[in-house]
Amino acid sequence: MSAPSDPVAAAYGVRVEGLGRPADLALRGAEAWPVIHFRTELTDDPLALVSKVGENDATIVNPAATLLVDRGRAEVRIRSATPVPEADLVHPCLWPVAAVFARWRGAETLHAGAFVPDGGTGAWAVMADSGGGKTSFLAMLAQTGVEVLADDLLVIEGGDCVAGPRSLDLRPEVAEQLRLSARITTPVRSTSRRRLSLAPCEARWPVAGFVELGWGDRVAVERLEPVAALAALARHRRVRGLGTGFAQLLDLVDRPVLRLTRPRGWAYAEDAAQRLSEILGAGVA
């Protein structure tokens, strides 16, 4: 058995050059991924107000900076009036760039995270609408020792998904609920988030299934029928402007697509995670 490879600076299916070597970009097995070159440009010129995505270039208006993406050169110009902190370059600047490059090469992209259950050999995607508790759910799993692979963007290609940055950005009140002290989290994004670091992991995992989070009056898990499952995957797609890989979506719904509902409030969060863990551990029929 070969020894594990050393981590490289990578996330979402691409290797990253030009952002330094932040600890949040550390994946094993990503040496063959395509490289994207980043360079920062401070400017007093007016910046774009609207994002545009085409077949060979893109303009992405991000809270931290304006990103000019060149497909042929595999290059991203990060334009801003003031320097962008390295933490913001990792997130939220990196994911929309990686999502566009993923769609250009034919991969599918979802607004989702992913984790690997204890003893599992495949990854389960976690999807949710904005405000649906996806990041806090993944952070809670991480605190119990579950390997979390990604948050915000899940790139899927050939039935496999790839890992993202090795961190989760939590609202301060969520970090407090999870008893994550300032000692083990870092303030980022103008102190609006607390960043929880994750250990380096393997870059690529087969997709075992999907979990869509929702709110309800009780904790419940149901397996969606194929039509509802396809609708759920389509609803959480990223980069809609570059078309839809329906063949990929149809292939993905061969895997289980579960809907996990729970009441709002932390009192039900652990119950929901435990219920899901039991179902995955028993095998999904």
- For 101, list phi and psi in degrees, rounded to 5: -60, -35
- CA-based torsion, 179, 117, 109, 26: positive or negative: positive
pLDDT given at position 1: 40
Calpha distance 74→189 (Å, rounded): 26
Calpha distance 155→98 (Å, rounded): 9
Q: How many residues make up the chain in this entry? A: 285
The separation between CA 58 and the C-alpha centre of its own chain, rounded to angstroms, equals: 20
The two three-digit tokens of residue 250, written as one number: 């149809």
Could you write out the three-class secondary structure of the chain?
CCCCCCCECEECCEEEECCCCCCCCCEECCCCCCEEEEEEEECCCCCCCCCEECCCEEEEECCCCEEEEECCCCEEEEEECCCCCHHHHHHHHHHHHHHHHHHHCCCEEECEEEEECCCCCCEEEEECCCCCCHHHHHHHHHHCCCEEEECCCEEEECCEEECCCCEEEECHHHHHHCCCCCCCEEEECCCCEEEEECCCEECEEEEEEEEEEEECCCCEEEECCHHHHHHHHHHCECCHHHCCCHHHHHHHCCCCEEEEEECCCHHHHHHHHHHHHHHHHHCCC
Contact 42, 52 (CB under 8 A): no
pLDDT given at position 285: 52
Q: What is the distance in angstroms between the CA of the first residue and the CA of the last residue of the chain?
A: 33
pLDDT given at position 4: 65
- Residue of 109, 107, 179, 191 whose CA lies nearest to 150: 109
Domain layout of the chain by residue ranges = 10-107, 109-282
Contact 223, 84 (CB under 8 A): no
pLDDT given at position 282: 79
Domain 109-282 fold = Rossmann fold (3.40.50)
Calpha distance 269→144 (Å, rounded): 13
The two three-digit tokens of residue 216, written as one number: 């309800």
Beta-sheet pairing, 185-188 with 193-197: antiparallel
Per residue in 182-193, is it b (16+ CB within 10 Å) or e — as a string?
eeebeebbeeeb
Cross-strand partners of 59: 52, 68
In order along its 285 residues, the chain shows pLDDT tens digits of 445 678 999 999 999 999 887 889 999 999 999 999 999 999 999 999 999 999 999 999 998 899 999 999 999 999 999 999 999 999 999 999 999 999 999 999 999 999 999 888 899 999 999 889 999 999 999 999 999 999 999 999 989 999 999 999 999 999 999 988 777 899 999 889 999 999 999 999 999 999 999 999 999 999 999 999 999 999 999 987 777 677 888 899 999 999 999 999 888 998 999 999 999 987 775
Calpha distance 281→126 (Å, rounded): 16
What is the pTM for the complete model shown?
0.93
